[in-house]
Amino acid sequence: MCIRQWRYTCFLTGLMRGGIGVYNYGFIAELNDNKLSNIRKLLDKEYEFITGFKHLELKGYTVKAKESSGVKYRGCDLSDIESTKVHLTDYIN
C-alpha cells in the first residue's frame, strides 16, 4: 500500500487478491473521510510502474535502489529518473 497526499487529497494504491490469495489487479483511489472514492482498476503495467517509481522515490534514488528496481527491469531508463514527476491524479481521471 502506498499513500500520497496531494493538495489535501490522499491517494491510495493497492492490490486486490484473487480467489487463491495472490495478486489479481492493482488499483488507485482517493481517501476522503475514511472512505475510498474514485476507485480505478489499473493496468498491470501502470501498477508496476507506479509502485516501482514510488519505491525508488522513498529510497532516495540511490544507486543501490536503482540497481534492484523493478522499474529498471521493465525497460525504463533510470539515469535521470529523479527529474521525472509522477502525479497520481493522472491515474484517477
Residue 23 in domain: yes
Give which of 22, 44, 34, 42 is closest to 88, Cα–Cα: 42
Residue 22 in domain: yes
Residue 52 in domain: yes
The pLDDT of residue 5 is 52
Residue 29 in domain: yes
What does pTM read for this prediction? 0.70
Residue 35: CB atoms within 10 A of its CB come to 8
Residue 67 in domain: yes
Residue 93 in domain: no
Residue 92 in domain: no
Residue 53 in domain: yes
- For the residues 12-34, what does the mean pLDDT come to? 88
- In the chain, the amino acid numbered 92 is I
> Domain of 34?
2-87
pLDDT of 29 above 70: yes
The pLDDT of residue 28 is 92
pLDDT digits (tens, 9 = 90+) for 40-92: 999 988 888 888 888 888 888 888 888 777 776 566 777 777 787 777 777 77
| Total domains present in the chain | 1
